[in-house]
Amino acid sequence: MNITDKKYFAQYSNLIGTQIPLLIENFDFSEKNGDFDFLTKASAVYSSNIEGNSIDLNSFMNYELSKVKFKVGTEIEEIENLIEAYELAQNNNLTESNLLNSHKIFSKTLLIKSKRGKYRNEQVGVFGKSGITYLAIEPEFVEKEMKLFFGDIIFLLKQSLTEEEVFYFASLIHLRFVHIHPFRDGNGRAARLLEKWFITEILGKNFWKIPSEEYYKNHQQKYYETLNIGVNFYELNYEKCIEFLKLLPNCLK
């Protein structure tokens, strides 16, 4: 499956895509909902929460305001590292090397040094309460798959895309990245960062403000259910992808 594929675009357009220009027009990009710095921190907090971090936004911001900061725990450090990764993305073009650099930054509490900012060299899966729910591609094929993946991103970034197309492809990028699962850990955080990074490369820096991470956190069960479209990399059924693609535009409502 290539992320440049518009096979599902007509269906997507009929269900939600045509609403996107109006949703963007009506979205409040002013500082009424928080300044750029605050919203970046909120994105990192919510993205971390999805992965099990227990520090909520209120607690993190109060920690930031504290004149005498308490000893930093792993969960606080995890969020601070992810904020730094977002800031790297906000100030650099979307490239494979920059994504690897961002992973190197935010995975400091997740992985040993030798595995940060590098594609995995071991088999990984996604596990639930009843056992394994998804088995990713074998490690020896990850680098090749990611070269194809970023080749598609480069192609898309050179196209003249409508707002509707940008959101469609951004969601496909998110979905495909999670299915490749290129890192030993941090794939979800990287996928959510990558999705927004792609949008801002085309539509502008203001789109870092959209609350996609918060929306996914508040609809976490739906988020995980719709990511799950196959038991392994070779049995993925992208005919089921529409339910996932519909989530991102809803964060603008």
pLDDT in tens, the chain (253 residues): 899 999 999 999 999 999 999 999 999 999 888 899 999 999 999 999 999 999 999 999 998 888 556 666 899 999 999 999 999 999 999 999 999 999 999 999 999 999 999 999 999 999 887 889 999 999 999 999 999 999 999 999 999 999 999 999 999 999 999 999 999 999 999 999 999 999 999 999 999 999 999 999 999 999 999 999 999 999 999 999 999 999 999 999 9
Residue 97, pLDDT score: 98
* Residue 160, phi then psi, degrees to nearest 5: -95, 95
Residue 1, pLDDT score: 84
- CATH architecture for segment(s) 9-250: Orthogonal Bundle (1.10)
The full set of domain ranges for the chain reads 9-250
Tell me the whole-structure pTM to 2 decimals: 0.96
Instruction: Report which secondary-structure segment, H or E, holds 180.
Output: helix 163-180
Instruction: Report which secondary-structure segment, H or E, holds 128.
Output: strand 125-128
In order of 19, 41, 80, 85, 163, the CA distances from 167 in angstroms are 11, 22, 27, 22, 6
User: What is the C-alpha to C-alpha distance for residues 178 and 126, in angstroms, rounded to an integer?
Assistant: 10
In order of 119, 230, 244, the CA distances from 146 in angstroms are 9, 20, 21
Contacts of 229 (CB under 8 A, 6+ apart): 236, 237, 238, 240, 241, 244
Residue 32, pLDDT score: 86
Do 111 and 185 form a contact (C-beta atoms < 8 A)?
yes
Taking only Cα atoms into account, the Rg of the chain, rounded to an integer number of angstroms, comes to 18
Do 199 and 170 form a contact (C-beta atoms < 8 A)?
yes
User: What is the C-alpha to C-alpha distance for residues 106 and 82, in angstroms, rounded to an integer?
Assistant: 5
Q: What are the tokens at 3?
A: 């992320």
User: What is the C-alpha to C-alpha distance for residues 103 and 116, in angstroms, rounded to an integer?
Assistant: 6
Residue 130, pLDDT score: 80
